Amino acid sequence: MNGTVQHLNPDGLMKNPAFSQVITTQGNGKTIYIGGQNAVNAAREIIGKGNLQAQTEQVMQNILIALDASGASFENVVKLSIHIAQGQNPVGAFQASQKFLNNLANPPVITVLIVVGFANPDFLIEIDLVAFVPE
């Protein structure tokens, strides 16, 4: 059996083009888990100190690199967990992420949490995810 991914937005739940309510995966394929990405580049520099939108852009670039290295793309993402530092306006993160997520035919399920802080106080956002690539 080849792997399949099904995106569901059942009646009785809110429908939004930015995210899916339920995603199921079944069959053969590769599941990819990408740990929390923050705004650190390959040179170990924090990009966008104090700027949530700039940090989100770097986080999404890091995720793109990790997905590509795994043989996947944002089209394969089934779950995003977004953690934003308390006191930040999430609109900046949303705007920066749309460059990567806006044109997805089937958007992932998304959880957004406001957190008190991160291990490094200069971090304003961290995103981890799960992707599935059917065979």
Q: How far separated are the first and last CA of the chain, in Å rounded?
A: 9
Rounded distance, CA 64 to CA 20, Å? 20
The pLDDT tens digits of the residues spanning 69-78 come to 999 999 999 9
Rounded distance, CA 76 to CA 72, Å? 6
Mean pLDDT, the chain, integer: 93
Structure confidence at residue 20 as a pLDDT band (50, 70, 90)? confident
| Number of neighbours of residue 65 by Cβ within 10 angstroms | 14
DSSP codes joined into one string, 116-135:
S--SSTT--EEEEEEEEEE-
- Give the predicted TM-score (pTM) of the model: 0.87
Structure confidence at residue 15 as a pLDDT band (50, 70, 90)? confident
Rounded distance, CA 108 to CA 76, Å? 8
